[in-house]
Amino acid sequence: MTWQLSVAGLLVGMLVGVTGMGGGSLMTPLLVILFGFSPSVAVGTDLLHGAAFKTVGAVRHRRLGTVQARLSGWMFLGSAPMSLLGVATATWLRHRYGDGAQSVQGVVLGVALLAGGVGLLAKSLLHVREEPPDPFVLTRRDRIAAVLIGLGGGYVVGLTSVGSGVFFGLTMLIVFPLRSSKVVGTDIFHAAALLWVAGFGHYVAGNVDLHAVAWLLVGSIPGVLLSSGLTVKLPDRILRIALAITLLASGVKLIDVPHGNVIALGVLGAGLLALGGVAFSRLVAAHARSAAVVVVTPVDRLGADSGVANSADERT
């Protein structure tokens, strides 16, 4: 189980590089469901992998000028200590209730994935104001809000590894008047610092597989670097909805509800039908717009001019 991890890292890295989303939320369920990692080790391994992985993106966004560093610092003030409390909680759950895929920790992870899926759907449907009226300046209210956001999000990230992108990105879109590019850059910059703290905490607690981290990075770092400049044919919103459906299905499977596999397949099937309908409607609309555009070629123009001349001759 070496090159398979690199392939998984490559796919997740390309997804993040193209769309800026989905790293931690998708990697943890992959490690549990596909590779058989226990939930606590999957969380710790994903956090440490994400720390190195998102540092690359953080440096890039910092150079692009899409980072509100002070806002990241105030969120980090609350998120860093609470992430360690989340690590302590995850370790306690492992020792108290076991660490199988269907343990309490697995159920907690499943609930977090469900919440992440719902949050990502909300983020996909939320319209952000691209041109804030004034330059963003941190007020006392903004600093308090940033610390509170860090307190809640840091605990969830340390406990489940889910939420560093969905939770913080969604709340920043709602609370602060930032452009979407600033939200993405600030989120990644803050997540890079937070994941180093939480990942190191899980490493000390014995919840990290360094071998797996190394193989994941072999794929994910080239993936994000190669795909960061690419564009995709599907709209970003469709990709976000597809990822949200994947998280919801993964959460249902981990919670182990009655007939969970059937429900998960139903969620995926309904999601695929919905995405197919959206994609088809977009294709029809694009075709209608293209058909409405009349292109006049030089031959057509010559014919039209001749027709006008002939009509004039007939009238004379």
**Cβ-contact 191, 148 below 8 angstroms:** no
What total number of domains does the chain contain? Answer: 1
Mean pLDDT of the chain: 74
With contact defined as beta carbons under 8 Å apart, do 238 and 279 qualify? yes
| Residue 298 forms part of a structural domain | no
Mean pLDDT lowest among 12-21, 46-55, 192-201, 288-297: 288-297
- CA 274 to chain CA centroid, Å, is 20
- pLDDT tens for 189-227 read 898 899 999 999 999 999 899 999 999 999 888 887 776
Nearest-10 Cα torsion for 121, 126, 130, 134: -120
Backbone angles phi, psi at 271, to 5 degrees: -65, -40
Look at residue 274 and tell me if it is in a domain: no
Residue 95 pLDDT grade (very low, low, confident, very high; cuts 50, 70, 90): confident
pLDDT for res 284: 64
Tell which wins on pLDDT, 27 or 145. 145
Quote the domain boundaries for residue 248.
3-257
- What local confidence, expressed as pLDDT, does residue 101 receive? 46
Residue 279 vs residue 9, higher pLDDT: 9
Give, for 168, the enclosing helix (H) or strand (E). helix 166-175
Please indicate, yes or no, if residue 293 is contained in any of the structural domains. no
The reply to whether 13 falls in a domain is yes
Q: Across 51-55, 105-109, 179-183, 226-230, which has the greatest mean pLDDT?
A: 51-55
Structural domain contains residue 309: no
What CA–CA distance (Å, rounded) separates 153 from 306? 72
Whether residue 66 lies inside any domain: the answer is yes
Residue 306 included in any domain: no
| Structure confidence by residue, pLDDT tens digits, 22-63 | 555 678 878 888 888 888 888 899 899 888 878 887 887 788
Q: Which range scores top for mean pLDDT: 5-19, 140-154, 256-270?
A: 140-154
**In contact, 150 and 74? CB cutoff 8 Å:** yes
Task: Look at residue 202 in the predicted model and tell me its pLDDT.
Answer: 93
Give CA 217 to chain center in angstroms.
18
